[in-house]
Structure 1
Amino acid sequence: MTEYPHIVGIGGTTRPGSSTEMLVRAILAECGARGAETTMFAGAELLALPHYNPGDPTRTDGQRALVDAARRADGFVIGTPGYHGSVSALVKNAIDLLEDTRTDDARVYMDGCPVGLVVSAAGWQATGVTLSALRDIIHALRGWPTPIGIGVNTIVQRPFDDEGRIADESIAGAVRMQAGQIMDHVSGTRMRKQAV
């Protein structure tokens, strides 16, 4: 266990600086302000990952970096655009790579870790169903989705201003709340481990 909690962000699109990526970064920044070490795997890093192939054990440097960061993580933030009612292939491919941890002794997958979830989409239907799909994926990986999931409808909400600051106070409040839930869960988990 590291001295500072380690929170790993995974998310974005093929477009650098997408609203999805910026939202994940905003939550990581809040976690950092609360004492966490953070690592981000954004669209560019995710795009460079080969398709996950369980039959081929060879891994690129990027794949190893993501899995190594996940192994050290105390918590996660995962952000995806809502594409046709579900998680983007770019983000799902990165999540699938965590199958490499299935036989780990220390921790399998995301077992016991808090996971903040973020979805941005062009409409509320895509936002809602994608957030639900992402929650199911995290449950399958034994993670604990935070009570607050962040869904942003980019048709009716402008998440960021021209300087990259959160422009909508309801989104800013949700970012702070999600970061707080992640860090509170991590603190509680660490206290329980120390008491054992």
Structure 2
Amino acid sequence: MNDQSASLKRPLIVGIGGTTRAGSSCERLVAAVLAAAAELGADTRLFDGAALAALPHYAPDHPGRTPGQLALVDAVRQADGMVIGSPSYHGGVSGLVKNAVDLLDDLRMDARTYLDGRAVGLVVVAAGWQAGGVTLTGLRGTIHALRGWPTPLGISVNNMAQKPFDADGMLVDADILTQVKAQAVQLMRFARPAA
């Protein structure tokens, strides 16, 4: 690939997030950031709650991988940026999301180790402000440990105080929509197509 074709490549932004409940607020917010990135010219791929729930527990001593695990790792390997969303369960990242993130250890021997060189937007949904802030901070630490670049803007939504979606699942909270669009802009600004 020459320099000109590399500069024309659409960045790939991969989203990971959700719960075992289809259409959860967390899953919808990750999808909203991906949709905003797509409007800015990105290709996107979402690994939603159902996809994450189908992944077996990460076991580093068992290198065999299921098709779902291979698909996730390969998508992240190709990604120029990511969005990771988690509900806050007791002030921490959900096991479902943490299991998927742990699987990214399979990228440790890649030329771009782990999430090196990738911007990562973070989204947290909680039933309170404190839980959301603590979980967002913990998720930022995890992304730093994986050599990723958390976007300056992390989104934390308090489902008890905010109602981001209408009955049809449309994002209607103007403040959250502004944050979603801002995070997509940051992802696109930092996304670098892989060589």
TM, length-normalised to structure 2: 0.94
In structure 2, the partner of 1:40 is: 46
State whether structure 2 residue 173 is matched by structure 1 residue 168: yes
Match of 1:93 among 88, 99, 122: 99
Q: Give the letter for the 2:110 counterpart.
A: D
Instruction: Choose the corresponding residue for 2:124, options 104, 116, 119.
Output: 119
Q: Secondary structure at the match of 1:35?
A: coil
Matching of residue 181 in structure 1 with residue 181 in structure 2? no
Map 1:133-148 → 2, pairs under 5 A: 133-148=138-153
- Match 1:83 to one of 84, 89, 95: 89
Give a deviation string over 1:78-134, Cα, whole Å, max 9, x none: 0000001110000000000000010112x1111011000000010001100000000
Q: Quote how far apart the aligned CAs of 1:4 are.
A: 1.0
Q: Distance in 2 between matches of 1:52 and 1:30?
A: 31
Is structure 2 residue 159 aligned with structure 1 residue 154?
yes
1:6 corresponds to which residue?
Answer: 12
Counterpart secondary structure, 1:136 = helix
**Any stretches of 5+ residues in structure 2 without a counterpart?**
1-5
Aligned-residue RMSD, C-alpha: 1.4
For 1:36 and 1:180, how far apart are their aligned partners in 2? 11
Aligned residues: 189
Q: Could you say which residue in structure 1 is the equivalent of 2:3?
A: none
More contact order relative to length (CA 8 Å, sep ≥ 6): 2
Which consecutive segments of 4 or more residues in structure 1 shift more than 6 A? none
**Whole-Å Cα distance in 1 between the matches of residues 138 and 128 of structure 2?**
16
* Runs of 5+ consecutive residues of structure 1 not aligned to the other structure: none
